[in-house]
Amino acid sequence: MLKKISSLGSALNKTEQKSIEGGIKLISVVVCTANTIGWDCGPPHCPGVCTTNYNGDPYCLPY
């Protein structure tokens, strides 16, 4: 298994390897507001998407 994983490094160039970022999706929006509905949200709370609750207040809905 280790040999198979190691061989992936030779299949991808350095730029492609860096673009994978370890499979982690970077979250850019921290606080949900009326202007960020539909955007990704994240730390310090859960990773998710900005939406509204039943009162119409914006909040981060977990993935």
6 is a domain residue: no
Q: Percent of the chain beyond pLDDT 70?
A: 51
pLDDT at position 40 over 80: yes
Rounded Cα gap, residues 48 and 35, in angstroms = 16
Give the predicted TM-score (pTM) of the model.
0.51
What DSSP character marks residue 27? P
Rounded Cα gap, residues 51 and 33, in angstroms = 9
Q: Which domain holds residue 47?
A: 25-62
Name the token pair of 15.
């730029």
Name the token pair of 42.
């994240």
Into how many domains does the chain fold?
A: 1
Rounded Cα gap, residues 4 and 20, in angstroms = 17
pLDDT score recorded for residue 26? 61
If you average pLDDT over every residue of the chain, what do you get? 74
Q: Percent of the chain beyond pLDDT 90?
A: 13
Instruction: Give tens-digit pLDDT for 10-22.
Output: 666 666 666 665 5
